[in-house]
Chain A
Amino acid sequence: MVELEYPDIQGLILSGYGHLPCATYVLLRVEDGPAARRWLARILTEVTSAERKQDKASVNVAFTRQGLEHLGLDADTIQTFSRAFSEGMATEHRSRILGDAGEDEPAKWNWGGPDRTKAVDILLLLFAVDELELDSLIGRHRASFSQEGIAEVSALAAGRQPDNREHFGFADGMGQPAIENTSPGKKAAARNLLKAGEILMGHINTYDKVADGPTVRADRDPRRLLRDGEPGLRNFGHNGTYLVFRQLAQNVADLYHFLDEATRTPTGQLDPDASSRLAAKFVGRWPSGAPLVLSPTKDDPSMADADDFGYFDQDPRGFACPIGAHIRRSNPRDSLGPDAVKGLASANRHRILRRGRSYGHRLENPRVDDGAERGLHFICLNSDIERQFEFVQQTWINNPVFGGLHGEVDPVIGYVARGDAIMTIPADPVRTRVHNIRRFVTVKGGAYFFLPGIRALRYLASL
């Protein structure tokens, strides 16, 4: 068993910083490479590693491909990053598989799209125990940006609702995988355990191979700041991961209006119970977090954290949790294929660690829009963007024929490719179908980042 080298791993990989409820994600642009490297060298001591929990504040930092270029990383090294990271999120093919068309197309994004003035080089993630602490943390960092060749593109406030619910009103963050042999891993069910290489480059992954990461030619690292790799190479990626960031605005009132209209009785009356039930069918969990598979007919807060279930034996037809429900699409567990054990093993090759947080104030009355923007800063970590994050989006979430369905969409975040987007709610003996589902989220920005190990950060600062 290989012990992870905690001092070399950024803290966000092992912890979602639940004890630091306030956060801001600062998007930065490099204006002057050498100056920005000095900035990086200076904040190095502040970057939180996985070694020690910081009680009051944590700082992590990640880079886009352009960011690495602007900091002066050589082209040969850039070449060794994965194709997805090098090309970035806003390519034609990626827009197709991620569903970034129409209102969601990258040209309309606030950041990360093709517009060069909105390009992002660096993501600085700041977390604090309260707003006061966060303000002083941001203030301190902001004060030095301009002298150190850094410009602020945007500062995205992110919080965590006191009850851990996202804006549609559902508890969030259950069913996370964890890296084996870590403290989160010790608490996780076997089903949710991931080989370290699924998240951390340079470690053994699900195929029992070392997860690929970028490398630097040995002669470019004369001070031997990086770990040795294959002959003549140093591992720049070791203990790093890819961080996927998508800002998803949630159109809360629109969803609730849709649910209400879709559940009118045959005589045209509103049916609040049916509306709440349909919301739960969309998600696959009740607002408390209780999964439909374990509590099919009503919410049961005592099961709020329950996650020990499968679909293959417990709900093969989707009578409790529809085949196309959001949580079943995002992680089909053991349900795909003729065999539960193999099904689970193949689904587990596509897990991601979610590290996102909500932003914006909660809508007081979810049926009355207040015009304010709110949503989710979706952040996830994975060592292979194509096999993990993109696969989930492309093959499960946005797949109209997921799990044997036909012409359907993910009802919560799905992308509506054509006219009548439907969702089937299986029931015995007859299913119902929900028609003309709209998209209830809008993509506002996004990018692929590299979240390096601490050694690699030091190397980058030393260039």
Chain B
Amino acid sequence: MTHTVLTFVAPVNPQKVDELRSLLNEIGKDVPGNRHIPFTSFRLLHFASLWLIEGTDVDGYEPQFVFESNFDGPLDTYLDELFDRAADALHLLYGCCVDYLGTNAGDRALIVSYLRAHVLRPNASYIGTAGRTLERVKQESALIDGLQLCLDDLVKKGEAGSPPRSIREKLQAFVRTRPELVWALNSPRRLTSAEQFMPWVRIIGGALIAVVLLLVFFPIVLLAVIELRYKETHDPPTPKEDKSHTKKLADREDRTHIVQNHMAHITLVKPGLFRQAILRTVLWATNLVAGISIKGKLLGIPSIHFAHWSLIDNGRRLLFVSNFDGSWENYLDDFIDKGSIGLTAIWSNTVGFPSTRFLFCDGAKDGVRFKAFARDNQRYTNAWYSAYPDLTVQTIDNNSNVRDALFAPLDDTATREWLWRF
């Protein structure tokens, strides 16, 4: 079962920016309980964010409305769910957009095709909980909660010293006697063979093509490296952090007891075809790498649920959205300590990034400047929804691993190790 990650991006009618902003803020104030979109009743949606890219006089960009969605299955079923549950809200929200022609919330064909027309598929995306549907994440979480309590009981009765095998049998018996846990008696594969196999085909194919192109166009590549070095040494320095902007962002964070946070980010791509080409190439490669990263880690970063990069405004700006575990500071530290090469390669093509060498080096290693860059370009997320705000990628993985092995044949060592997961 695969996920779809995308954003709907629509141009906002400048006269209706205030109206849209206050609508979004109203939803954001109490996301689970808001009267417009009944998120908690959605059956496919993992994470969503709804926010306004405010227009900037400096660059002449018009305001835009971003609706980020990370959901199970293909677009069509999600659009159905969206319309069935939130048609009024869609009509209201998109009523603030320039090219929306709907006259009433009952016009299914129009609203769905409007959404379809504004779908932006990311240039690169990453999914941390590969193969787990919303239903499966929630089921497995409930299963482990139940097993934990059962284990508490066994310990209380003084059975902690029993052989691991017999403790496991008691846990199995607990599941067998619960009709509501009947689904846990077996564990379907997270990904089909094809889903596991295809990303490898793509990345190997991609690597081969890259090598061939590199050899064929070697002199041009060499010139490009020199050009890059020249540009790198002539980029303006990172501007100082705007502290009041950062305060506004930070005030929004850590509302789920620091378990999860959201980051929306927009940067201006450095002018010229050269940077455009490099950025597109790097995003293409990132997408291939992300495709084979199905063990819950991207470049060693274990805390990302869903992340995507999309070029907007004809490639002039780079949109990044991420739903991650832990604090902003921790996420950025992971970027710096673990993922600095990858993200330097991406964001060094955008304005204000700390200075780099040869695309991959330095850049994000300058922790203080990198964080200032990240804060300055971060956008205020008016409304953000998580279907499971207290679960981390690590916990979701651990839950799945417990479930996978619950009824599998295990030897004594594996049985003990399985019990350590609790």
B-binding residues in A (CB < 8 A): 83, 86-87, 91-93, 96-97, 206-207, 209, 212, 266, 317, 337-338, 342, 345-346, 349, 384, 386-387, 390-391, 394-395, 398-401, 404, 406-407, 417-418, 424, 426-433, 435
A406: which B residues are within 8 A, CB to CB?
390-392, 395
A431: which B residues are within 8 A, CB to CB?
151, 155, 420, 422
Say whether B253 contacts A93, CB under 8 Å.
Answer: yes
Closest to B392 in A: A401
Say whether B329 contacts A386, CB under 8 Å.
Answer: yes
Is residue B211 contacting chain A, with contact meaning CB distance below 8 A? no
Say whether B333 contacts A400, CB under 8 Å.
Answer: no
Closest to A418 in B: B257
A404: which B residues are within 8 A, CB to CB?
392, 394-395, 398
Say whether B333 contacts A92, CB under 8 Å.
Answer: no
Is residue B99 contacting chain A, with contact meaning CB distance below 8 A? no
Cβ of B335 to closest chain A Cβ, rounded Å: 11
CA distance A93 to B326 in the complex (A): 14
Is residue B160 contacting chain A, with contact meaning CB distance below 8 A? yes
A-binding residues in B (CB < 8 A): 148, 151-152, 154-158, 160, 164, 167, 241, 243, 246-247, 250-251, 253-255, 257-259, 300, 325-327, 329-330, 333, 336-338, 365-369, 390-392, 394-395, 398, 415-416, 419-420, 422
Pairs A–B under 8 Å by Cβ, sample size 8: A93-B247, A209-B367, A390-B329, A391-B330, A394-B329, A400-B257, A401-B325, A431-B420
Q: A207-B336, A345-B337, A394-B329 are in contact. List 12 more A-B contacts (CB 8 A).
A: A83-B247, A93-B250, A96-B258, A209-B366, A266-B158, A317-B420, A394-B327, A395-B330, A400-B390, A404-B395, A406-B392, A431-B422
A394: which B residues are within 8 A, CB to CB?
254, 258, 327, 329-330
Interface centre among A93, A207, A406 (most CB of B within 10 A): A406
Closest to A405 in B: B395
B167: which A residues are within 8 A, CB to CB?
429-430
CA distance A384 to B367 in the complex (A): 12
B327: which A residues are within 8 A, CB to CB?
97, 391, 394-395, 399
Cβ of A91 to closest chain B Cβ, rounded Å: 8
The 8 Å CB contact of A266, one of B157, B337, B392, B394, is: B157
CA distance A120 to B367 in the complex (A): 32
Q: Which 5 A-B pairs have the closest CB atoms?
A: A429-B164, A417-B257, A207-B367, A395-B330, A429-B419
CA distance A428 to B412 in the complex (A): 13
Say whether B422 contacts A430, CB under 8 Å.
Answer: yes
Say whether B326 contacts A399, CB under 8 Å.
Answer: yes
A435: which B residues are within 8 A, CB to CB?
152
Closest to A206 in B: B367
Closest to B375 in A: A83
The 8 Å CB contact of A83, one of B243, B337, B367, B369, is: B243
CA distance A391 to B367 in the complex (A): 14
B148: which A residues are within 8 A, CB to CB?
433
Q: How many A-B residue pairs have CB under 8 A?
A: 123
A426: which B residues are within 8 A, CB to CB?
420
B160: which A residues are within 8 A, CB to CB?
427, 430, 432
Cβ of B368 to closest chain A Cβ, rounded Å: 6
Q: A83-B246, A266-B158, A394-B329 are in contact. Are A209 and B390 (CB under 8 A)?
A: no
Say whether B337 contacts A342, CB under 8 Å.
Answer: yes
Say whether B420 contacts A92, CB under 8 Å.
Answer: no
Q: A93-B251, A207-B367, A209-B366 are in contact. Are A428 and B420 (CB under 8 A)?
A: yes
Closest to B159 in A: A430
Q: A430-B422, A433-B152 are in contact. Are A401 and B326 (CB under 8 A)?
A: yes
CA distance A349 to B338 in the complex (A): 14
CA distance A406 to B398 in the complex (A): 11
Closest to B240 in A: A80
Say whether B325 contacts A428, CB under 8 Å.
Answer: no
Say whether B333 contacts A398, CB under 8 Å.
Answer: no
Cβ of B152 to closest chain A Cβ, rounded Å: 6
Say whether A87 contacts B247, CB under 8 Å.
Answer: yes
Q: A207-B365, A317-B420 are in contact. Are A346 and B155 (CB under 8 A)?
A: no
A92: which B residues are within 8 A, CB to CB?
251
A96: which B residues are within 8 A, CB to CB?
254-255, 258
CA distance A8 to B300 in the complex (A): 42
Say whether A428 contacts B329, CB under 8 Å.
Answer: no
Cβ of B192 to closest chain A Cβ, rounded Å: 28
Say whether A395 contacts B154, CB under 8 Å.
Answer: no
Say whether A349 contacts B333, CB under 8 Å.
Answer: yes
Say whether B243 contacts A86, CB under 8 Å.
Answer: yes
A424: which B residues are within 8 A, CB to CB?
422
CA distance A426 to B338 in the complex (A): 28
Closest to A97 in B: B254
CA distance A212 to B392 in the complex (A): 33
